[in-house]
Chain A
Amino acid sequence: MESVIKYLWLMPTAPLVAAGIGALLPRRQRLLSAALAIGAISFSFVLACAAFLATLNSGRAVSNFRWFDFGSTSVQLGWLLDPLGAVMAVMVALVSLLIFVYSLGYMAKDENFTRFFCFLALFAAAMLGLIIANSLLLFFICWELVGLASYLLIGFWFQKPSAAAAAKKAFIVTRIGDLGFLVGMLWLYDRSGTLLFYDGGHGCLERAVAGGMSSATMITLMIFCGAVGKSGQLPLHVWLPDAMEGPTPVSALIHAATMVAAGVFLIARVYPLMTPDTLQVVTWVGAVTAVFAASIAVAQSDIKRILAYSTVSQLGYMMMGLGAGGVAVGMFHLTTHAFFKALLFLGAGSVIHGCHEEQDIRKMGGLRRRMPVTFAAYAVGMMALCGVPLFFSGFWSKDAILDAAQHWSVSQAPFYLGLIGAFLTAFYMTRQICYVFFGKPANREAEHAHESPPVMTVPLIILAALAVVAGFFGTPAWPWFQSYLQGGRAEFDLSKLVEGNQSQVMLLSAGLVAAAIVLSGWIYGRVASRPARDMDPLEAAQPALFACLRRKFFVDEFYDATFVRLTAAFANFSDWLDRDVWGGLVRTVSWLVLAVARFNRGVDESVVNDGFDAGTETVRDSGKWVSRLQNGQVQRYLRVIGLAFCGLLILLLWGAQ
């Protein structure tokens, strides 16, 4: 433990160095840039495994250091090694490594290959830093860096206006959440005097927050705002679907497996601070988001958009799990979701690559035979996501959440919302599979689709294996994951599977999933076989509802009409203020100064110059005039002397009297 914590800071630093070097490389150094990134992330993965092993016996190690002083206090940052961070680090490093390798194949034809790997490495560094941060401030710094990397990567093809707009939207929307996060962070600092999580008893998570329950509730609600933004919960979910403008590896890594999970991770990290009121809010937000996003996904026709809304929905599940069931429940679903969602996205990328950059599912079809490996992996992922029982990890993790929701003391509504969401999830995933892989190809590209190269399919296979295997670590029969995170021993006990109403919940969810798959398969299976698929059967049945779902409940339009318009109006007002009022003031001042200058010049020329000239003229003329007194006539001089003498005499004589 001690030796690992000493070198833990190398985990984010290696990718950071790779990113730094990559930023300086010229465009043709493609291989070097990729090698740096992949090498760095492999090194981080090894270090993460070492950290994981070190934490197997539970416990926690910290390594704090001082950043800078101000006044009498100092700002401290630090690294934390504990089960929560270790398992997250392993997951992030592994998924990142697989996606980096996948990108070698996917982005091979792109001319900005070097820049892509530089940004990927930057993202990985920031994400890993976020995971092992022991200070909320360091966490926030890495949080912002992750947001920056997301912006850079969403807008990777910045020449496309839609991509640039999507990047901007992502950044701005998450910023709104980050504002709440920042307020909460400052408030926490004020209340507890430190931002370190664990500090030998003095950390902010180790003591009760001064100010009692109400301030703790407010602080954690503020921090939850940040999670809402980053994890795409209602109402700040609008950026996630648009973020699909970025390359598919980016969508897989950032917007499925890791970055959006950072919000969930944040809540898990500061869980000791959460009050029951905040947890209620978290649960409700998560439940509503889960159903909201799932219903929108039913009506989408872009392969990546469906998966994006699915991600939003699953994040809602994670929040629900955190709120109702605790850290272990939420984190278990986060881990399994990372694997199968990354798998689904990479599979989608493979499909897009095979169909020559076609993303509309209505134009695909029959890829089952043309891309078998992709199909197999995708099917595994789909079943994991839907929660098909027993063999697929999604079943176990989602079940844990539903179980916790059922036992929630406050209300049963999230439980029912969760069930509805599970039904919808299975429904839209089956719909997607039918459109993409079954039936007949809709156009020529789909007909001539080819399987992707091994550099892309091997990560798919690995992820598929993980999607199956990871589930077995958290079943009720052997709750290793939960005991790892919470302490205590896990025992292998198959009887726990059929105990209590846990088995009832499992049967209920399995039944719902089966019903959804059958229903969707029946509706869309026939549609997929028709060559001309112009209308979705649901659209034909309920056009208004379908249009509403397709248009994402008009949330974007609503935001546009209100917030965006308000902000634009305010911006226009500020521009007017700056240009006309302040600018006018400045112009007036400069005009005044100029006028004063002109006046000075006038004064100088007319008054000073002319005055001076007049003065000198006067002196000269008076000199001329006075010199006339001296006319050379001696008699005049004598006359003057005589007069002066008289004057003097008079003065002396009669002045003295």
Chain B
Amino acid sequence: MLNEIAFLLLASLTLAGAVAAMMLRNLVHCALCAAGAFAGLAALYLQLNAEFAGFAQLLVYVGAVAILIVFTILLTRGAEIQPGGTTASPSWWMGVPVGALVAACLVGSIMSSPSLLRLPSQNVQAPVKSIGEQLMTQYIMPLEAIGLLLTAALLGAVVIAMREPPKSEPAAR
């Protein structure tokens, strides 16, 4: 009972945050609502006994990605008034039905899936110790790969976003 109420609350919070993130005019508001949605999701993870994932979500998404988004909005003058334009792209009226269609398809496939009959497992435990063990044994390769990826992403992002030196200006474009 409690569980269901909690779920409903968290779900509506997350969904509301997501819708708001997509519909608000002010970009910073959008960013903050997105952060709220991320937080709601983190709570859902906690409810699902995936504590480590939930806290990782909070740390990474709410703590880093949302802030990154805000920085980008500020750097690209997104907070200012758009000069004479709407928020939506010219073909917004086609995007919503597509989303609706996708939702319908997915929901339809979920409802007709046999996995609905699954029962939740008892006594689910995901201690950090076992996560660490798994990381170091079974998932060592992805771990190293992730490390490489993150290094590359870091370097790439810096290079892309860096202000170009003056001497290569004529070669630009």
Contacts and interface: CB of A to CB of B under 8 A. Distances in A.
A635 B95 CA distance: 8
B89, B98, B106 — most chain A CB neighbours (10 Å): B98
Contacts of A633: 89, 91
A639 B108 contact: no
A646 B105 contact: yes
B91 A643 contact: no
Interface string A629-650: 0000101100100110110011
A643 B95 contact: no
A653 B99 contact: no
A639 B94 contact: yes
A635 B91 contact: yes
A643 B101 contact: yes
Contacts of A643: 98, 101
A636 B108 contact: no
A259 B99 CA distance: 123
Nearest to B103: A646
B109 A649 contact: yes
A642 B102 contact: yes
Given A636-B91, A639-B94, A639-B95, A653 B109 contact: yes
A639 B97 CA distance: 10
A645 B109 CA distance: 13
B110 to A, nearest CB: 11
B121 interface: no
A639 B100 CA distance: 12
Interface in B44-58: none
A650 to B, nearest CB: 6
Nearest to B104: A646
Contacts of A635: 89, 91, 95
Contacts of B123: none
B108 A642 contact: no
Nearest to A645: B102
Nearest to B101: A646
Contacts of A653: 108-109, 112
Nearest to B112: A653
Report, as a range, how many residues of chain A touch the other chain: 10 to 19
A99 to B, nearest CB: 117
A653 B110 CA distance: 11
A340 B112 CA distance: 140
Interface string B104-144: 01101100100000000000000000000000000000000
B99 A642 contact: yes
A635 B112 CA distance: 31
A636 B91 CA distance: 8
Contacts of B102: 642, 645-646
Nearest to A639: B98
A643 B94 CA distance: 11
Contacts of A650: 105
A650 B106 CA distance: 9
Contacts of A642: 98-99, 101-102
Contacts of B95: 635, 639
A202 B5 CA distance: 141
B69 to A, nearest CB: 18
A642 B94 CA distance: 11
Interface in B39-91: 89, 91
A391 B132 CA distance: 165
Contacts of B109: 649, 653
A77 B30 CA distance: 127
B114 to A, nearest CB: 12
B87 to A, nearest CB: 13
A653 B109 CA distance: 7
Contacts of A649: 105-106, 109
Contacts of B106: 649
A102 B171 CA distance: 119
A196 to B, nearest CB: 111
A650 B102 CA distance: 10
A639 B106 CA distance: 16
Contacts of B98: 639, 642-643, 646
Contacts of B94: 639
Nearest to A643: B98
B91 to A, nearest CB: 7
A652 to B, nearest CB: 9
Contacts of B99: 642
A636 B89 CA distance: 10
Contacts of B112: 653
Interface in A595-648: 633, 635-636, 639, 642-643, 645-646
A609 to B, nearest CB: 43
Given A635-B91, A642-B98, A646-B98, 6 more contacts: A642-B102, A643-B101, A645-B105, A646-B105, A649-B105, A653-B112
29 contacts: A633-B89, A633-B91, A635-B89, A635-B91, A635-B95, A636-B91, A639-B91, A639-B94, A639-B95, A639-B98, A642-B98, A642-B99, A642-B101, A642-B102, A643-B98, A643-B101, A645-B102, A645-B105, A646-B98, A646-B101, A646-B102, A646-B105, A649-B105, A649-B106, A649-B109, A650-B105, A653-B108, A653-B109, A653-B112
Interface of A: 633, 635-636, 639, 642-643, 645-646, 649-650, 653
A-B pairs, top 8 by smallest CB distance, nearest first, are A642-B98, A649-B105, A646-B105, A646-B101, A639-B98, A653-B109, A642-B102, A646-B102
Interface of B: 89, 91, 94-95, 98-99, 101-102, 105-106, 108-109, 112
